[in-house]
Amino acid sequence: MEWETVIGLEVHVQLATASKLFSGSSTRFGAEPNTQANLFDLALPGTLPVLNGKAVEMAVKFGLAVGAEIGHKSVFDRKNYFYPDSPKGYQTSQLEFPTVGKGSLTITLDDGTTKVIGITRAHLEEDAGKSLHEEFPTETGIDLNRAGTPLLEIVSEPELRSAKEAVAYLKKMHSLIVYLGISDGDMSQGSMRCDANVSVRPKGEAKFGTRAEIKNINSFRFVEKAINVEVARQIDILEDGSKVKQETRLYDADKNETRSMRSKEVANDYRYFPEPDLLPIVIDDAFISKIRATLPELPDVKALRFQIQYELSAYDATVLTNEFHTAAFFEEVVAACQDAKLSANWVMGDLQACLNKAELSIQRSPVSSTALAGMISRILDNTISSKIAKTVFVAMVAGEGSADSIIAAKGLKQITDTGAIELIVDAIIATNTKQVEQYRAGEEKVFAFFVGLVMKESRGKANPNQINLILKSKLTAK
């Protein structure tokens, strides 16, 4: 039997506000456990919530960016559950009246086609604490530092049909929130994480299968692996004649498997009711207009501008604008060297390969945009060839100085003196008469043989264009 995968993602975005959602205190990530918790986080008697208005602004900004309905009246609710990381015994969230309603996000698939994924809602809520297991082999530790930090939970429609589509959606969402400046999106620190609701159904079947929710996946790679593993698990169960249980599962990256955590709750199990200590949020058109005026140039718009302004291909423009800091870096390089295509090639090619190998973000690049532009300028003015530039770039990555200082120190300046190149060419033609005859007899592939010899003799410093011109002139001369 052929099976179809159905996936919906719940993306949890930690909003980059200075303070927590309801207590006003700030959080410093990486601090010692429980040193950032406050009276409200600990649920001490008499504490009352006060809403962080900045979080509401960020939620509205996100809603506008995805063309969503903005709730003119949104209500906070208490989501009741008893778990060690929540001393209050409930989480303040939004159920029936979220701040952000229906919207959509367009993703690009591997074959270059696009697909619109519906966004059901995006609601504000407070984060819970964190359970610690690594340092306590037989016990569980609780860290309440992040308790109360503002989250935006973005719920997609179940319109994703593969793990690759889910990753494409998640990457597009990551790009968007960083562009908007509402989160740093650092998945390793939990600034963005997601839950994947996964089910399978027979091909052509309209009814959804029973879903399992995989909780708190914190990397693009793990999202793809977790979904694929869960899909295979569910298909095996169904093909054995058994039924899939509706439950919450976790993904174990070391074993590449999902494991059951608990049965999947429904809304009634949480006994939602309106938060009695918080008034409804009323958002008017003037507030929405004010937030709309702060929207930055978003990835899709920037990619289109890159195609027009810099005459880049759609592919290059998309790659460069997927990540906010990469787009900014590229534009800095172009501004300094005035060659968009060469800048794009170096940023997407050698620089990105270097960053990937060292597992660095472009913000921590060992070669600055100014330094890279300086090296590209030396290619453009024929001081060095593109081949020599790779040697210069490696030295720059190693911290050996600017392109100019490396070129001078290593004697890498390109030979552009036609007289000097002609002397080399004449000597090579004179000592390779057999290959000269082959070329003149029509074996044009022999030309590469001569180019290689000239480059070797000049230690790679002869200008390639001049080599070609001089060789062709002398090989065709009778």
If one counts the domains in the chain, the total is 3
Whether residues 310 and 359 fall in one domain: yes
Choose the final residue of a domain: 265, 290, 315.
290
Whether residues 159 and 268 fall in one domain: yes
Domain around 372: 299-410
Give the 3-state secondary structure of 44-82. Answer: CCCCCCCCCHHHHHHHHHHHHHCCCCECCEECCEEEECC
Q: What CATH number is attached to the domain comprising 454?
A: 1.10.10.410
- Residues 6 or more apart in contact with residue 19 via CB below 8 angstroms: 25, 26, 27, 52, 54
Instruction: Map tokens 């195609």 to a residue.
Output: 307
- Residues 6 or more apart in contact with residue 130 via CB below 8 angstroms: 85, 142, 143, 144, 145, 146, 190
**What is the predicted pLDDT for the residue at 240?**
94
**What is the predicted pLDDT for the residue at 25?**
83
Whether residues 99 and 181 fall in one domain: yes
Dihedral class, residue 190 (left if φ above 0, else alpha if ψ from -120 to 50, else beta): left
In whole angstroms, give the CA distance from residue 150 to residue 13: 8
- CA atoms within a 13 Å half-sphere pointing along the CA-CB vector of 349: 13
Whether residues 256 and 324 fall in one domain: no
Whole-number Cα distances in Å, 395 to 136, 234, 329, 334, 373? 46, 52, 20, 22, 15
Whether residues 150 and 79 fall in one domain: yes
Choose the final residue of a domain: 236, 256, 290.
290
Q: Which helix (H) or strand (E) holds 292?
A: helix 285-292
Separation of CA 288 from chain center: 28
Whether residues 384 and 465 fall in one domain: no
Q: Give me 404's structure tokens.
A: 């100019």
Q: Give me 144's structure tokens.
A: 């309440």
Mean pLDDT, contiguous 10-residue spans, the chain (478 residues):
95 92 81 88 90 96 97 95 88 96 94 94 94 82 92 98 97 97 90 95 93 93 96 95 93 93 73 94 96 96 97 95 96 97 97 95 96 96 88 96 93 70 75 75 76 76 75 71
Q: Smallest Cα–Cα separation from 253: which of 275, 279, 221? A: 221
Q: Give me 333's structure tokens.
A: 């390089």
Whether residues 267 and 303 fall in one domain: no
Whether residues 370 and 272 fall in one domain: no
Whether residues 306 and 286 fall in one domain: no
Choose the final residue of a domain: 352, 381, 410.
410
Separation of CA 156 from chain center: 18
- Provide the residue count of the chain: 478
Whether residues 167 and 221 fall in one domain: yes
In whole angstroms, give the CA distance from residue 179 to residue 62: 10
Q: Answer whether 303's CB lies under 8 Å from 317's CB.
A: yes
Whether residues 360 and 268 fall in one domain: no
Whether residues 209 and 351 fall in one domain: no
**What is the predicted pLDDT for the residue at 104?**
97
**What is the predicted pLDDT for the residue at 450?**
72
Integer-rounded Cα radius of gyration of the chain = 29
Q: Answer whether 327's CB lies under 8 Å from 334's CB.
A: no
Q: Smallest Cα–Cα separation from 92: which of 108, 67, 75? A: 75
